[in-house]
Amino acid sequence: MFTSKITKIAVNILIILIAQNIFADDVFDGVSPQLGVVISDDYIEQIDFVVMPSGDGLPGGSGNAVTGKVLYSIHCMACHGPDAKGGINGDLAGGHGTISGPIPKKTVGSYWPYATIIFDYIRRAMPYQLPGTLSNNEVYALTAYILNLNGVIGEDELMNAQTLPKAKMPNSEGFIWAYSPSE
């Protein structure tokens, strides 16, 4: 009699637990406190820096290498050198054709697969001491200048959200994926 009462209680608890989905396949479903606060598009706009190779995520604005050259001498040259070579913090130009040779020299121009990465990285991280201080127009212009130094575009070509993803990098065919989703 005593045991049957316990069994009854146990069965009731089990039913409640099942109703609450605790035994569902996805164990987290029933127990997550669900405390995420839904955020607005405006907020996302402010914190989203992601640029995709397709150009998705690139902002409005534009710039060319002529303006970029001037900006480069003010904001970048001290660390990356004149014409983006021979500076203390790495070359951004040159090294073309060396990647499959005996001494590969990786620079933005000789190695990087997509032009969009230049915009993404400068907007996130450069100039090193004062990241986030350049306007989108300025970042486009600096990107255009680095592309021009590497012979990818002409000096007057305007880089913007439409043209930048189309700028074909010299080493764009030089990469394969080591990861496949089946791993």
Partner 1 sequence: MKETPDNINFAANNGLLDRRFFLKAGLGVGGGLMSASALSSEGKDRFPWMKQPGMPMGQSGPSRFEEHIKREGVGSQPGTTGSGASRTPIEYLDGIITPSRLHFERHHSGIPDIDPAQHRLVIHGLVERPLSFSMESLARYEHVSNIQFLECSGNSGAMISPKPLQRKASNLHGLVSCSEWGGVPLKILLDEAGIKPEGKWIVASGSDAAMMSRSVPIEKIMDDAIIATHQNGEPLRPSNGYPMRLFLPGWEGNACVKWLRTIKVTSGPSMTKDETSKYSDLRDDGIAELFTFPMGVKSVITSPSLSLNLTGPGIYQIKGIAWSGSGKIKSVELSADGGKTWAEALLDEHVLPKALTRFRSAWKWDGTPATIMSRAIDEKGNIQPTREQWFVGRAKNTFYHFNAIQTWGVNTAGEINNVYL
**Measured CA distances, 154 to 139, 145, 151 (Å):** 17, 9, 7
One residue of 48, 135, 155, 168 binding partner 1 per CB under 8 A: 48
One residue of 76, 108, 139, 164 binding partner 1 per CB under 8 A: 108
Applying CB under 8 A, does 125 fall inside the site for partner 1? yes
- Cα–Cα distance measured from residue 46 to residue 155, given in angstroms and rounded to the nearest whole number: 31
Q: How far is the CB of 73 from partner 1 (least distance, A)?
A: 17
Is the Cβ–Cβ distance between 80 and 179 less than 8 Å? no
133 Cβ contact partners less than 8 Å away, ≥ 6 residues apart: 127
Residues 65-104 that bind partner 1 (CB under 8 A): 79, 88-89, 99-104
Q: How far is the CB of 7 from partner 1 (least distance, A)?
A: 30
Q: How far is the CB of 166 from ligand HEC (least distance, A)?
A: 19
Is the Cβ–Cβ distance between 92 and 84 less than 8 Å? yes
- Cα–Cα distance measured from residue 158 to residue 145, given in angstroms and rounded to the nearest whole number: 10
Binding-residue total with partner 1 (CB under 8 A)? 53
- Cα–Cα distance measured from residue 16 to residue 55, given in angstroms and rounded to the nearest whole number: 50
Applying CB under 8 A, does 23 fall inside the site for partner 1? no
Q: Return residues touching partner 1 (CB under 8 A).
A: 26, 28-29, 31-39, 43-44, 47-53, 57, 79, 88-89, 99-104, 106, 108, 111-114, 116-117, 120-121, 124-125, 128, 131, 174-179, 181, 183
